[in-house]
Amino acid sequence: MDFRRLLSLCAAVALLGALLSPRIAPGRGKGGFREEFSDLARWEEFSFPSIPRHSRYSVSEIDGVRALKMESRASASGLILKRTFSLRETPFLSFRARVENVYRKGDARRKEGDDYPLRIYVIFLERRENLSFFEKLFLTDNPFNLGDFVPISTLTYVWANRDWGEKIVTNPFSQRAKMYMIEKGEKNAGKWMIFRRNIRDDASRAFGSPPSDTFAIAVMNDSDNTGESSISFLDFIEVSGE
């Protein structure tokens, strides 16, 4: 196996593991879910050991809207929802978001530019017993596994700073992480935008087929690579069957 690919895989395990803290209950929620951010009781913060400066998350009011406020200043950390979903039962993801500015030094294809004022993670999970020998060897050898579930890949919806020339790109840190551009540039900065995605269809485009049926949701505003700053907001986020 190419050594660089091995390092990329190990980096993917670290990233995915950090997104799924062992304190989060692995039980799968039935049906859909809608979060309107009256509080953050259903969310838990995650961070990365190598990044000491963390982004800030709070419930705030802007233009009469109570929302999740996400602030990043040369920082990175996020929030993960403390439940999982079935892609078969709930393939649709909807949310209303707003960013105040994009990161000018952002670059989807370079590690130094891998920052976004808005990231919505779809984290695909697999039961440990269903993994291949190779996957068990590399994906379960970390301290962040989630009970019987192991994180195997991510599809991340992002607000990019400019057009990539294509909707989906592979994250520069890992082949197992795909980035889906839902918005770009400053044209709609400072405006509320509503997004609705079919996760199953998007995952099929990104990976050939969905990596698994079980998934979790996380959100993040990060700027540790570019060293810039931005504020973004989420009015609501919803996972549904239709």
- Range in 56-70, 110-124, 125-139, 144-158 with the lowest mean pLDDT: 125-139
Q: Are strands 177-184 and 149-160 parallel, antiparallel or unpaired?
A: parallel
| pLDDT score, position 135 | 65
Assign 177 to helix, strand or coil.
strand
16 pLDDT band, cuts 50/70/90, is low
Q: Could you tell me the residue ranges of all domains in the chain?
A: 3-240
Predicted confidence at residue 5, as pLDDT, reads 40
The domain made up of 3-240 is a member of CATH 2.60.120: yes
Half-sphere exposure of 90 (CA within 13 A, CB side): 20
**Integer angstrom CA distances of residue 181 from 75, 152, 189, 218:** 21, 21, 15, 16
100: left (phi over 0), alpha (psi -120 to 50) or beta: alpha
In one-letter notation, the amino acid at residue 224 is: D
For the four alpha carbons of 151, 154, 159 and 160, in that order, the dihedral sign comes to: positive
Q: Tell me which of 152 and 191 has the higher pLDDT.
A: 191
Q: Is the pLDDT confidence value at 11 over 70? A: no
Over residues 74-83, the mean pLDDT reads 92
Residue 31: per-residue pLDDT? 72
* Phi, psi dihedral angles at 226 (to 5 degrees): -85, -20
Most confident of 147-151, 179-183, 214-218: 179-183
Cα distance between residue 5 and residue 239, in whole Å = 33
Instruction: For residue 60, give the DSSP letter.
Output: E
pLDDT at 140 over 60: no
Give the pLDDT score at 3.
37
